[in-house]
Structure 1
């Protein structure tokens, strides 16, 4: 357990968070613009923003956060799988969780506002799931795989 915690909280986490913060700002700006101005809806706006922002996320995390040396196409496939799974899980959970929390607090908001709060909640859940998946699956180098 100690080795897992040590591997989890290393230099790559800080770099991942810096890169992720930049991507999160861009992703949320795109999500809200697509949701409010282009009327893409909850799923359309979040999926489109994630697809666009995933390109820079892949490049910077492969090169800087995880210093991955495997072939691009192998890593890209694993990266895309992690993004897809984390996105679906996070945003599928975020909508009902947000509605439940708002109801528990006694707050009644119009659905457009609730969906936008859910996008923020989804982003937080996604970030937590995504770091774990990227570090231990998508960008795991062959040398790391031999260790355990």
Structure 2
């Protein structure tokens, strides 16, 4: 039997690949958990936004702010424990969370509202969806991305001071 065919020798050739894949997958887990929590938040927050905007005829800003506030409350609790598994004290995390949520909200929904107004001024008519509803969907996508990075890098970032 040649040296390269000894029992178990084939594992050494794939070990670096396994490590590389494992590191990449482990780094993706918080974002995947964040997206899972986001699905629940979408049903709650966006569902409420659309209900308030279309069903109760609230204004765009009232509907998106109210729906986002309710979704954000659920998001904080689930992301703190499930997504980031954070030990950051609730009061410290909550104040940072509110800041990030408000910043993400105003940036995302202002940008999406402006972009859809540009669509309207370009005489692009979408018969299947109201421009405010398009702005809600677009704003939600931008919000998800900005909110994830704000929470990961600012709200639930653990201090890595180890004494080992």
TM-score when normalising by structure 1: 0.84
How many positions carry a matched residue from both structures? 138
1:99 to partner: Cα distance: 2.5
Map of 1:3 onto structure 2 = none
Task: Indicate the SS of the match to 2:57.
Answer: coil
Q: Does 1:56 align with 2:74?
A: yes
1:108 to partner: Cα distance: 2.8
Give per-residue Cα distances to partners, 1:11-52, cap 9 Å, x unaligned.
111100100111112211100100012222110000000111
Extract structure 1 runs of 4+ deviating beyond 6 A: none
Long gaps (5+) in structure 1 = 1-5
Long gaps (5+) in structure 2 = 1-23
Where in structure 2 are the equivalents of 1:44-123 lying within 5 Å? 44-101=62-119, 103-104=121-122, 106-108=123-125, 113-123=130-140
Give per-residue Cα distances to partners, 1:88-132, cap 9 Å, x unaligned.
00001001112224554x42358x811111011100110010101
1:65 to partner: Cα distance: 0.6
Larger Cα-atom Rg: 2
Greater per-residue helix proportion = 1
CA distance in 2, matches of 1:99, 1:27: 23
CA distance in 2, matches of 1:25, 1:107: 29
Give per-residue Cα distances to partners, 1:40-94, cap 9 Å, x unaligned.
2110000000111111100110001101101100000001100000000000100
- Aligned 8 A contact 2:79 2:85 in 1: yes
Please report the RMSD computed on the Cα atoms of aligned residues, expressed in angstroms. 2.3
